[in-house]
Amino acid sequence: MKPFLIIPLFIYIYSIIGCEKKGADQPEPIPLQVEEVTSTNDTLQPVITIPTGISLQPTRPVANYPFDWENAHQMPVPAGKAPVPVPWSEQAIRNYDPGLRFDYKKSDGWELVYNNFTDVIEFDNRVFILYNKFRGLLRYYLYNTRPGNPAVDSYQSLINEIWLSQPMSTPLLNYAGQFIVDLDANARSASLIEPWPIREGGWYITQFELAYDQQITTYTSRDCGIAFTLAFARVDELSINNTPARNKNIYLEKPGLRFTSSAALGPAIGENMQAHVKSIQGFNELSGLLPAATINNLRQAINDSTAGNILSATLSPGLNLADCKLNLTVLFRQHQNLVGWIPAINFPAPGTDSRLGVGLSPLFNEPAGIFYLAKKPVIKHTTINGDLREQYALDVSSIEYIINPFTRAYADIRRFRQEIVAVESTNTRNLTEAKMYKGKILKASAPIHALGVRVSFEVVPKNGSAPVRIIKTFKANIVEG
């Protein structure tokens, strides 16, 4: 080797050894440590308020079309018209989650709210809508009279949207349109895309959970109305957790996005979305998309609301039903064109005075929704000396439940539970598989990200029907000090 090459070579070798030594000397990242305190000696309790002086508002009987859906075998139609089987019959074309098929009984809480099946008039868009007074669910049964054709055979997905048809600010759609509920921002719509094709004579079901608005009986139908839109879409790409999911019975929602809007047509939609499970059978569709251990934890949460990572759900284990939202990593793209079905049908919101409205009026006009919170819960954050220096404590007394007073006539509400839910950081891949920390107090070795406060309680029908467990998570005010 030539002498003038020796010095540069020596410097190069020394720098490599030095870098390796420096890297070896760097300490390994310290794993996050979190202590979850699930019970304390704190005697504070949440406030439970049941409004008084709330009266039932009138409807317009001329626009009501009652029928005994529970015992009917066919829907009411004018004389001479083709018969229409009820949506749960063997003769029906059932384009909906099979777990919902026999869930329509009065004893399980269902009431007929709207219906335009009648033996007098044949409406173009035929629908009847039930409301469950134990679960706060508004369920649409929709019958398609429009034929398909080869030009739209590739449109194999149904878009269901519910929205407020008036500008009134109300929390009514906050459970339907939000994942973690923000009491400072009312949702105006909720949009689901579901894996059902265009089929003439097909029955479709969709449902949305409504929040209780204690002001609803002070509104008229001109102040607060709801509407829904339906369309068929062609999904060109769908993967969940980087796994193709086009053959799965998956219902998707992205809060704030309407799948019928131009923003949802054409471009890929990524990041986190919510996959809806409508019944316990729906968990089977997650096989291959989520680890088996995660699916087992979700199933366990049906009977134990402290298990798994469920943040929003209405659970009826005695009826084998579970309506919940799961936060997952999704890549979704639909075709730029839609096939319209129902452009918009408007209804007065249940609980309003609908005498001055147009169209159908509620047959069952009690205010919808089981509960809401009066204000944001408070989490107190302090920093102390020691290994677990970041401490987050729930101010239980800051939680005030507002219970729908009509619910108390036919159900007892009990076993209230509230806890902080948190993850390590705001960059969590998805909340369904994340390591989630839960408790009245969380003590951490480094700052953590509090998602909010998860509340749950049990609705026990007085008629002996199966109890219902309701779970909701609300954004909280983080108070330093």
Task: Tell me the per-residue pLDDT of 170-221, one tens digit each, with 9 for 90 and over.
Answer: 999 999 999 999 999 999 999 999 999 999 999 999 999 999 999 999 999 8
Instruction: Specify the range with the lowest mean pLDDT, choosing from 6-10, 44-48, 82-86, 417-421.
Output: 6-10
Give dist(CA 33, CA 309) in Å, integer. 19
Cα-based distances in Å from 433 to 32, 337, 351, 438: 17, 34, 39, 14
Q: What type of residue sits at position 91?
A: Q
- Give the pLDDT band of residue 8 (cuts 50, 70, 90): very low
Q: Which residues pair with 164 in a beta bridge?
A: 226
pLDDT > 70 fraction of the chain, expressed in percent and rounded: 94
Phi, psi (deg, nearest 5) at residue 147:
-75, 150
Task: Assess whether pLDDT exceeds 70 at residue 23.
Answer: no
Contact 65, 116 (CB under 8 A): yes
Give dist(CA 30, CA 66) in Å, integer. 65
Give dist(CA 429, CA 29) in Å, integer. 20
Query: Based on the number of CB atoms within 10 Å of its own CB, is 83 exposed (0-12), middle (13-18) or buried (19 or more)?
Result: exposed
Give CA torsion, residues 469, 474, 480, 481, to 10 deg: -30
Q: Which residues pair with 418 in a beta bridge?
A: 455
- Give the pLDDT band of residue 307 (cuts 50, 70, 90): low
Q: What is the mean pLDDT of residues 430-445?
A: 94
- Give the pLDDT band of residue 303 (cuts 50, 70, 90): confident
- Give the pLDDT band of residue 11 (cuts 50, 70, 90): very low
Query: Based on the number of CB atoms within 10 Å of its own CB, is 36 exposed (0-12), middle (13-18) or buried (19 or more)?
Result: middle
Q: Which residues pair with 339 in a beta bridge?
A: 232
Contact 302, 105 (CB under 8 A): no
pLDDT of residue 12: 46
Q: Taking the alpha carbons of 149, 154, 157, 162 in that order, is the dihedral positive or negative?
A: negative
pLDDT of residue 135: 97
Residues in the chain: 481
pLDDT one-digit tens code per residue, 426-436:
888 889 999 99
The CA-based angle 425-384-182, given to 5 degrees, is 40
